Every structure is written in structure tokens, then in C-alpha cells.
Structure 1
Amino acid sequence: MDHTFPVRVYYEDTDMGGIVYYANYLRYIERARSDWVRSLGIDQNAMREKDGVVFAVRRVAAEYLLPARFDDELLVRTRVKAVTGARLMLTQDIVRGDAVLFQAEVTVVRIAEGGAPARLPANIRRQIHEPRGQ
């Protein structure tokens, strides 16, 4: 299941060279992941308040391929690579038209208060694999 999230590059996103500052690509993919989780019907605030657990990024491997610039219209594509009992592995690309500007592999885990690992519940694993409404 692919999820897409539009991003517009604002002046504040750019560096002195007029291109998107490298750390902002991580912000863009974070926004896209949050939007994707919300689209699955997973309420992260309720999960934190009720169960005392949150999602956390454990690993990011990123490649910066081409620069994005002020006022570009970008699209972040999020795809599930694998789901285990404790980990969610995603690929995320940022594209402008047909050009891939940025690629990342992201590992997300669920942690309890204090940082202890927590398993991904079966219902969340199902939601990730089944498109909404099925």
C-alpha cells in the first residue's frame, strides 16, 4: 500500500544556496509518516494516553540524489517494506514530477514509557497491510 503526501518548499526550508536544507527532508518524511498512520485510523495520542506507548524512529538510511528548491511542489511516497512483531520497515521517496530527489529506508519501533520496546499489536499490523475500508 502506497501513501502519498504533498509538500511545498517554503523559503524557510532553504539554506544559503537556495536549496532545501538537508535536515528538512527528514521533516518532510516524518510529516508523511504521521499522515499515513492517521489515514490508517491509528490515533497516536490515544495510544500514548491509553497504553503508554509511542512510535519512535530507530534507524534512517538516507540518500540525497537531487536538490529541491524554493516553491517546488514535492510528493513524499511511503511504502511498507516489512512488518515484524516489533518493527515496521518503510521506504520513503521524495519526488518532483518524475525525478526522485531523496530516498530513505526507515525503521520504526513501538516503545513504552522509559524506552522499553513494545510489540506492534496484531490489529495495527493488519491495518498496515490492509487498505482502509476493506
Structure 2
Amino acid sequence: MSSKLTEFSWPVRVYYEDTDSGGVVYYANYLKFMERARTELLRSIGYQQDQLQQELGIIFAVHSANIQYKKPARFNDELNVVTSISALGKASIRFKQSIYLESTHHDDDLTRSISGLLSEAEIKIACLNAKKFTTQSIPASIIKKINQEFHCGS
């Protein structure tokens, strides 16, 4: 039996469309990178968002987000989004997510001052009825699978 994961990592490359006029990643795009990592975490344990909606009649929606920006990322940087589950509730999941600079293709003073942690956030998602958009319990099968695969909480 394999041990439970404490975190899930997902690589992201910064594209030109992700940057603002200052040449750094636009602040809202960090949330998009985190969304992709949460989606891939679910996919890694056998759940795809469209499948959840069609077969179980549920969707997950962001309830709240608390994000801190530490350092900028730039075009063509390679990032790593690290996700852990800090709490698994009856109708919600709380994630801790961090974005790290893995590799850069710039050679200047700014790049030399940037390494490591770029951004970190706590994101709470709620389970909703896909038709009524009302809160509902996360299906027991999903709770069970998450508990089998991940260490939830600190």
C-alpha cells in the first residue's frame, strides 16, 4: 500500500498572454495557475470536472481566496504550483497553494533577486448542486478517495 501524499505539484510555464504591460505575470493569473493545479489534483485521483457535473450533478466553486504575492514571475519562466489539502469538510475543501520559480530564461539583476516562493494562497472551494447552485455535501466516494490518497490537514 502506498503512503498518502502530502502535496501535489503541477508545472506551469508563463506565456506572453499571462503577463501585463510591465512584463510580469498579471496578478489574477496566479489564481488561474492555482485553479489548474486543483483541477489536475482531482484528475490525478480519477475525477474530471465535467464528469462530476454530468454524472454526479455537482460542481466545485471557489468560496474564498486569500493570496499573497511575494515576487514576480515573467514570460517563459517555469513555475511549480504546489497544492496541499489543509481541511476536508462535509461540503468544502480548503487548499494551501504555493507557486515557486523553478527555472528562468532571463539573465539580469531582477532575475538574480528572484528565487523560491513567488506566491502563496489559501483557497476554499464549496461543493454545489450543478443545477441549483446551492451548497451540497461532497459525495462520500470523493471524500473516501481524497482521504485514501492525501494527508488532509496539518
- Normalised to the residue count of structure 2, the TM-score between the two structures is 0.81
Work out which of the two has the higher radius of gyration on C-alpha atoms and give 1 or 2: 2
Residues in 1 aligned to 2:16 and 2:48: alpha-carbon distance in whole angstroms: 32
CA contact under 8 A between 2:39 and 2:48: conserved in structure 1? no
Larger strand proportion, structure 1 or 2?
Answer: 1
User: Is 2:30 the counterpart of 1:25?
Assistant: yes
Stretches of structure 1 that go unaligned for 5 or more consecutive residues are: none
Residues in 2 aligned to 1:19 and 1:77: alpha-carbon distance in whole angstroms: 20
1:70 alignment partner in structure 2: 75
Identity rate of aligned residues, in percent?
A: 39
Helix, strand or coil at the partner of 1:117: coil
Residues in 2 aligned to 1:127 and 1:29: alpha-carbon distance in whole angstroms: 21
Structure 2 residue identity aligned to 1:66: K
Q: 1:118 aligns with which of 122, 133, 136?
A: 136
Deviation at residue 83 of structure 1 after TM alignment: 0.4
Helix, strand or coil at the partner of 1:125: helix
Go from structure 1 to structure 2 and tell me whether the alpha carbon gap of 1:43 and 1:9 turns closer, same or farther (over 3 Å shift): closer
Q: 1:49 aligns with which of 24, 49, 54?
A: 54
Stretches of structure 2 that go unaligned for 5 or more consecutive residues are: 1-5, 103-114
Residues in 2 aligned to 1:50 and 1:8: alpha-carbon distance in whole angstroms: 32
Structure 2 residue identity aligned to 1:128: I
Helix, strand or coil at the partner of 2:100: strand
Bigger mean CA offset, 23-32 vs 37-46: 37-46
Residues in 1 aligned to 2:13 and 2:48: alpha-carbon distance in whole angstroms: 26
Helix, strand or coil at the partner of 2:23: coil
1:108 alignment partner in structure 2: 125
Deviation at residue 23 of structure 1 after TM alignment: 0.8
CA displacement 1:97-127 (0-9 Å, x = unmatched): 4611010100011101221111012221121
Q: 2:116 aligns with which of 99, 116, 126?
A: 99
**How many correspondences in the alignment?**
132
Residues in 2 aligned to 1:54 and 1:27: alpha-carbon distance in whole angstroms: 17
